[in-house]
Amino acid sequence: MRVYRWRWVMLLIIFLTNLANGSLWVTFAPIDKATAYYYDISPQVVNLLSIVFMVAYVPLGFVSQWFLDHKSFRFGVILGAWLTTIGAWLRYLSSKFFNHTGAGALSLLFAGQTLAAFAQPFLLNAPPKMATMWFSVEGRATADMVGTIGNILGVGVAQAISPILANIQVKNTTNGPVDDPQSMDFMLMIFAIICSVACVITTIGTREKPPSPPSHSAYQKATPFLEGIKQMYSNVPYLIVLGTFAVGLGVFNTMTTVLEEVVSPIGIDEDHAGYLGAIIVGVGLVTSGITAPILDKYHKYKELYVFAFFIAVASFVWFSLVMYFIPMPSFLLLSFPCATLGIAAFVILPTALELCIEITYPIAPATSVGFLWMMGQVVGIASSFACTALQSKEAPYSMQNSLWFMIAIVSLGCLASLLLLWPYRPTYFRLQSEHS
């Protein structure tokens, strides 16, 4: 058993492809009003450009889990990279043809988003498989975290730079002032170039597996796909993690989708709404860089997972109190609860992924982790539509009911993790296998 230097290339590939795909997911979320004006559509249709990623994950999740674990890891990752890149260029073409309005432009735009959405399950399910096949016990959690965080970093990059690249200017019309993006085509081209670079590196550098495995568990043959699914759904600790993680991920996805709509009624412009999203991701990245090596050394998965849920609930409550009990709060006041939300989200994420792999071993990593992502997307879809339905027309309180709704379901996830998971002493089967 040994590790190879090429593992760092594999880690870079998985990180870059997930970053590129994540940037396409929420490109339009921080500039929803400008996008609506540019394509002559409603803000609700703009939200669908993000929701399509969650919808596509559900059917493609099964296919990607089976393919990555039981057919070809290399081909699955390359397929994801190419779908992302083709989708990015279709989005760019939507700004160049049909005068970027009407059914033609909208069809190209949604076709591009949908192809990128089809790619996401192949890329998000890849990090745990890559970490298991290429990294030793001491580096698995960190490698898994870096690969997975690439997707969320892409979300943060899009939140931060979309308003800047689109060069939004306020334009006076007969219907009042509107946000007019001067450089939408340039923004879409930049994202397409990022995806293309990641795609070339992925196509050239991806390997199926190393010449020899890095650990004892990497030697073991994975449980057959259907048999693994049956075992997972009779594993009580896994079902608890599945349910609570789905709630946390679903609400996080919803928050990144509607963040601009939440803060704009209190005077936060699209640029600063994007910066709030970037703060969530930036602080979260620093936190995950600290916690992942700790997980590798001490393996305190359950304890850290439950603690992070408490931080998540406190962050949502803090954000809501600042929003609605301080008259016209500043960007600075909102940035603090966004930072703590980033801390919670980026602790929950790598901890949950490693925890579920440990308690379901020898089920293949992409299978056990894939169901976490898939259920999170289901909750995200329901939560996004619920938040839209709960909107009112009473500015600045139009999204207040939506925030209370998100607080309620995150609190349920926290309560479930405390009452159901904490009393358990889950067996970490993969670690047992290594020690034996």
Higher pLDDT, 214 or 311: 311
Cα–Cα distances (Å) from 57 to 54, 64, 118, 138, 170, in that order, read: 5, 9, 7, 31, 36
**Residue 299 three-state SS:** coil
- List the Cα angle 217/201/376 in 5-degree steps: 55
Partner residues linked to 173 by β-bridges: 176
The closest alpha carbon to 88, from 17, 36, 142, 152, belongs to 17
Q: Is the peptide bond before 362 cis (omega within 30 degrees of 0)?
A: yes
What three-state secondary structure class fits 170?
strand
Is the CB of residue 353 less than 8 Å from the CB of residue 229? Answer: no
Which domains are seen in the chain, by residue range? 6-435 (1.20.1250.20)
- Mean pLDDT over residues 136-160, rounded? 84
| pLDDT > 60? residue 177 | no
Pairwise CA distance, residues 122 & 143, whole Å: 17
H helices of 99-210, in order, are 102-124, 126-134, 140-166, 184-205
223-227 contacts at long range (C-beta below 8 A, 24 or more positions apart): 223/362, 223/363, 223/364, 224/70, 225/65, 225/66, 225/69, 225/70, 225/364, 225/367
User: Which one, of 386, 405, 166, 396, lies nearest residue 264 by Cα?
Assistant: 396
Where residue 201 falls among pLDDT bands split at 50, 70, 90? very high
| CA 405/CA 347 separation, integer angstroms | 23
Listed range (9-23, 32-46, 381-395) with the worst mean pLDDT: 381-395
Distance CA 17, CA 275 (A): 23
Q: Measure the N-to-C terminal CA separation of the chain; round to a whole number of Å.
A: 15
Tokens 């096949």, located at residue = 133
User: How far apart, in whole angstroms, are the C-alpha atoms of residue 21 and residue 53?
Assistant: 10
Residues 31 and 161: their CA atoms lie apart, in Å, by 10
- In angstroms, the CA 242 to CA 233 distance is 10
| The pLDDT of residue 229 is above 90 | no
Is residue 176 pLDDT above 60, yes or no? no
Q: For residue 172, what are the β-bridge partners?
A: 177
Distance CA 389, CA 224 (A): 42
pLDDT-derived band at 347, boundaries 50, 70, 90: confident
Q: Which two tokens mark 169?
A: 């200017």
| pLDDT tier, 217 (very low <50, low <70, confident <90, very high otherwise) | low
Residues 328 and 267: beta-carbon distance below 8 Å? yes
Nearest-angstrom CA–CA distance, 338 and 414: 18
| Tens digit of each residue's pLDDT (9 = 90 or more) over 386-409 | 887 887 776 666 777 888 888 888
Show the CA angle centred on residue 425, arms to residues 239 and 292, nearest 5°. 80
For residue 173, name the pLDDT band (cuts at 50, 70, 90).
low
Q: Are 347 and 287 in contact (CB under 8 A)?
A: yes
Give the SS3 label for residue 173: strand
- H helices within 26-124, ranges in order? 32-39, 43-70, 73-94, 102-124
Nearest CA-CA partner of 396 in 332, 306, 313, 334: 334
What would the two tokens of residue 235 be?
């594993």
Q: What is the pLDDT of residues 231-241, one digit of tens each?
A: 888 888 889 88
This model's pTM is above 0.85: no
For residues 151 and 132, give the distance between their C-alpha atoms in angstroms, rounded to a whole number.
19
The fraction of the chain above a pLDDT of 70, given in percent, is 94
Check pLDDT > 60 for residue 15.
Answer: yes
Strands 176-181 and 168-173, bridge-based pairing: antiparallel
User: Region 201-229: what's the mean pLDDT?
Assistant: 82
pLDDT recorded at residue 93: 94
Q: What is the pLDDT of residue 428?
A: 82
Mean pLDDT of the chain: 85
On the 0-12 / 13-18 / 19+ scale of CB atoms within 10 A, 395 is exposed
